[in-house]
Structure 1
C-alpha cells in the first residue's frame, strides 16, 4: 500500500498537518479498501502545534519507507530546519520518494535544495520572503499548487487540500479523487489560482518615499488619472516618480493604480450586487471590457467567477433551484 508520511516539525501549523492526515487517511479505492497508509513522523516524540501539543507516531526512519512525504508549514518558517530532517528529506528524494509541501512548508523544502531551479509556490504573503531567502527557486505566487513530478508545493491553507486531491487523482484516478473530494466536501478542482486571494497594492504599503502619493492614489484611483497627475500629486517629475515606483514597489505608477482599482472592485464584488459596468465606472476603468481584461490578468478569474467564490452566489442559486424544484 502507498505510504504517506506527514512530517511533524516543532511549531507545525495544525491545519497543514491535519489536511494530508485526513484527506489521504479517508481516501478509499473503488472496492472500499484504504488507498493509503498514513503515518505522522518527526525528529521529536512531541511537538508544539500552536495552542496544542501533539504526540508524533514515528521517527525520521519512517521517511525512508514512505512513497510520499508531506511537509506542512510552520508558524515561523524563517527558523532553520534541524539538520537531521534536511538530511532525511534529501536521502528520501534521492531514493525516489515523492515530496510535497503545504503552505510555508516550501521553506523547509527550499532549505534542502530540492526546489533549486524549479517553479514553486507558497502562501502569497510569504512568497517574497521565500524568493528572497532562496533565489534559486522560481517562486510563483499565483498558483494554488505546482507539481514538478518528484516535488510538489502548494499555497496556503485550503490549497493544501487542492494539492492532496491532485495527488490522489494522480495515484488512483479521477473516481477515487472525486470520492475523496466528496468526503472532504471540497471541489476536485477550483477555478483560478492563488491570484484571486492576493490583496493588491494595500493602502498601508511600506515604502521609503511614496507614502503620500500612495495615499493620494487610494483616494483618487476612480478618477481618469494620467502619469502627469500622479507626478503632480507627488510633487516630483514624471521621470523621478517612475524611478521611485520601480525601485520601491516593482511596478510602474500606472500599474499601481490598476492594482488599486482591481482591489476596490474586489471589495464591491464581495459586498454589493452592482453589475460589472457600474463597478468598472465606480473604480476608474474606462469600460467594462477594459475592467474585465485587467481583472482577469491580475486576479486570474473573471469578475463573475470571483463574486461566486467570495460570496457563495453560485452555491446559493443552486440550493434555491433545488428547493424550487422540490416544491
Structure 2
C-alpha cells in the first residue's frame, strides 16, 4: 500500500514525522506492505522553523491511482502554510483522492484544505481546538460539522484531529485502515504506545 505524504510549505515537522515513523516500523520491523512517498510543490520544502526537507516527488508527478492514501500534516500561518494548502492544484488533488474513495488523513490544520476543497461539506471533522477554537470556526465556514472536543474524528475515508499532540494517533488510525486492527496493535506495542 502506498501513502502520499503531502507537505505544503510551512508544514509542522512533528506532524510529518509520525507518518514516516509509524509506517517505517510497520514496513521494516514487521514486514507490512506500507510505503510512504513524500511530495510537495517543489523538490525541497521549507517546513516550520526553517527546516528544509527533500521530497521524493512534486505535485506534477503524481497520479492518484498510484496511492491508497493521502496524509496531510498541518502547518503554521507564519511560515506561509496556506499559500500552498489552499492552492487550487492541491485542493483538486484532495478532491480526486476523495472521488476515488481513498483514505485522507490529516493532523491539526491539515483539515482546513480538506474543508476548503469541499469534500467535507456536511461531514464530521475537527481541527486545531485551542485559542478559542478559531480554526474550528474556520473549518465550520466550509460547511463542515465540527466535533470540537474529539481528539480524532473519522468520517468514512477522512481522518482529522485537533492538535499536534494527536499526530501519532492519526498515523496509527491510518495504518489500521490500511492493514487492520491486529497488525496495527503489534506496531503500536512495539513502539511503546
Q: How many residues align?
A: 184
Greater Rg, structure 1 or structure 2?
1
Report whether the alignment pairs 1:89 with 2:94. yes
Q: Quick one: higher RCO (CA 8 Å, sep 6+), 1 or 2?
A: 2
Where 2:91 maps in the other structure, the secondary structure is helix
Residues 78 and 117 (structure 1 numbering): CA distance in 2 closer, same or farther, change over 3 Å? farther
When the two chains are superposed, the root-mean-square deviation of aligned CA atoms in Å is 2.2
Of Structure 1 and Structure 2, the greater helix share is in 1
Partner of 1:161: 168
Q: How does 1:236-275 map to 2 (within 5 A)?
A: none
Equivalents in 1 of 2:90, 2:109: separation in Å?
A: 16
Instruction: Say if 2:183 is the partner of 1:185.
Output: no
Aligned counterparts of 1:29 and 1:173: Cα–Cα separation in 2: 17
Residue matched to 1:11: 10
Is the counterpart of residue 59 in structure 1 residue 58 in structure 2?
yes
Equivalent in the alignment of 1:143? 150
Mapping for residues 68-147 of structure 1, pairs under 5 Å: 68-76=69-77, 79-80=82-83, 81-125=86-130, 127-132=133-138, 134-135=140-141, 136-147=143-154
Match of 1:234 in 2: none
Deviates most, 127-136 or 69-78: 127-136
Structure 2 gap ranges (5+):
none
Residues 4 and 67 in structure 2, CA contact (< 8 A), matched pair in contact too? yes
Cα distance in 2 for residues equivalent to 1:132 and 1:14: 23
Find the aligned partners of 2:173 and 2:9 in 1 and give their Cα distance.
27
Q: 1:63 to 1:97 in 2, by over 3 A?
A: farther
Q: Quick one: distance in 2 between partners of 1:176 and 1:62? A: 29
Contact 1:29–1:35 at 8 Å: present in 2 too?
A: no
Shift of 1:34: 3.0
**Counterpart contact for 2:9–2:81, Cα < 8 Å:** no
TM-score by length of 1: 0.52
Distance 1:173 1:91 in 2: 24
Could you tell me how far apart the structure 1 residues matched to 2:38 and 2:113 are? Answer: 17
Q: Deviations over 1:289-323 (max 9, x none)?
A: xxxxxxxxxxxxxxxxxxxxxxxxxxxxxxxxxxx
Q: Does the CA-based 8 Å contact 1:63-1:89 persist in structure 2?
A: no
Runs of 4+ residues deviating >4 angstroms: none
> Following the alignment from structure 2 to structure 1, what is the Cα–Cα distance between the partners of residues 7 and 159?
18
Q: Deviations over 1:260-307 (max 9, x none)?
A: xxxxxxxxxxxxxxxxxxxxxxxxxxxxxxxxxxxxxxxxxxxxxxxx
- Displacement, 1:157? 1.7
* 1:176 lines up with 2:183 in the alignment: yes
CA distance in structure 1 between the partners assigned to 2:19 and 2:166 by the alignment: 11
Cα pair distance change 1:36/1:78, threshold 3 Å: closer
